[in-house]
Structure 1
Amino acid sequence: MTAKTLEDLFVHALSDVYSAEKQIVKALPGLRRAATDPQLAEAFTQHLEETQGQIERIDQVVEETGLKLKRMKCAAMEGLVEEGKEVIEEIEKGPVLDAALIAAAQKVEHYEIATYGTLCVLGKLLKKPKAVELLKATLAEEKSTDEKLSKLAESVNAEALNA
């Protein structure tokens, strides 16, 4: 990455998270199919819909700012998605797998929270108020998803403990 300005950094981070969101859209159906807990499967379904909206928000940020995204693949998300696939392949379907799926999903959420938080700060410094408003909405959704997963983990992990 060659970033000479904060705006370059903003474009890079936005391009990176755009790639990340696209990868998540492809990965979520597999997580949903692997989940045995109905609430977890539903959470993955809801997050898929939410993620599609987040991609649309990034498109709005691009439109509002006139910036051009770079074509790139988010290597961090690629690794996190791969970890999720490994979990599905290696753990028998049931409560322990559900617990592992939640852990994998929370890693993704924490990556997104960090990225959107950074984008909000950069957008504010770069005086892009509409972009910041859109990015803050996504940041709030990511935090909410993480909280829902934490709450779900309490019951799923207890079930896994007894499995």
Structure 2
Amino acid sequence: MASLGDQIANFFSGSDDDTREGLHGLFIDELKGIYYAEKQAVDALGEQADASTTDEVRNAFLTHQEETRGQVARLEQVFQSIGVDADDKTCAAIDGLVDDAQTVVSNTESGSLTRDAGLIIAGQKIEHHEIAAYGSAVTLAKVLGYSEAAQLLHQTLEEEKNTDKKLTQLAESFINQRAALEDGNTPSDSDENRYSTDTNTVNPDGSRYSDSSTITGYGSSNDTISGGSRTL
């Protein structure tokens, strides 16, 4: 029996059909799981938007819901590019994460910033799962020589990373801070500026916005886009 090193060498030299067939099957299974997860995410994002307290968080979920619909269509292109019919298979991980998000809604008060903070956390858990799944799928596509599939999957991977960053910015800019105040926690003197609720609040990037303004990247429909980022 060939050593593991020999098997790897044979695979990359194109002379190990068994390994290639196994990786191809694994790749298809991963795609099916991601396809299922993205379709579940479309519905979950709508529910999270409906449960949100602030327009900023609601708009964030609705924006990503529309983006996710595009990701579903892109996955169908991936299936087509490798000559396989688009299909899905149950993904227990995404089912559990969606259930977690529903639990957040059940355990927080309607109209509270605490609920928004919890929804952002739940949303980022889903994003981290998808980032891991897409990253693995990109690697498999490259190993198998599916260059078009790899490019399409990498495009979605970058979108998921960007969404995760935007949710982090949204949470750090005001949701987590004000949720803490809402729960009756009194900030220390050293945190006074960081937890201030006056109308001249500091964004993570150093810019300032008023209570009525929107968060960079997830603004209202009146925002304009310049150079890939939103301006208010």
Determine helix, strand or coil for the equivalent of 1:36: coil
Higher strand share: 2
User: Is 1:159 matched with 2:140?
Assistant: no
Say if 2:28 is the partner of 1:11: yes
* Bigger Rg over Cα: 2
Deviation at 1:67, TM superposition (A): 2.0
**4+ aligned runs moved over 4 Å, structure 1:** none
Distance in 1 between the 2:93 and 2:32 partners?
Answer: 13
Q: Counterpart amino acid of 2:158? A: A
Deviation at 1:38, TM superposition (A): 1.0
CA–CA distance in 1 between the matches of 2:87 and 2:170?
36
Higher RCO, 1 vs 2 (CA within 8 Å, ≥6 residues apart): 1
Q: 2:171, 2:146 → 1: CA distance?
A: 37
TM-score, normalised via structure 1 length: 0.95
Q: Given the superposition, is the C-alpha separation of residues 145 and 71 from structure 1 closer, same or farther in structure 2, using an over 3 Å criterion?
A: closer
- Return the offset for 1:146: 0.1
Structure 1: distance between partners of 2:132 and 2:88: 21
TM, length-normalised to structure 2: 0.67
Q: 1:96 aligns with which of 111, 114, 118?
A: 114
Aligned to 1:106: 124
Alpha-carbon deviation of 1:136? Answer: 0.5
The one-letter code matched in structure 2 to 1:53 is G
Please list the CA deviations of residues 30-70 of structure 1 after superposition, one character each: whole Å capped at 9, or x if unmatched. 10011112111001010000000000000000111102345
Length, aligned pairs only: 160
Structure 2 unaligned segments of length 5 or more: list them. Answer: 1-20, 183-232
Contact 2:35 2:87 in 1 (8 A): no
SS at match of 1:5: helix
Counterpart of 2:101, as a letter, is: G
Matched, 1:42 2:59: yes
CA distance in 2, matches of 1:13, 1:69: 12
CA distance in 2, matches of 1:114, 1:160: 29
1:135 and 2:161 correspond:
no
**Does the residue aligned with 2:53 lie in a helix, a strand or coil?**
coil
Aligned to 1:124: 142
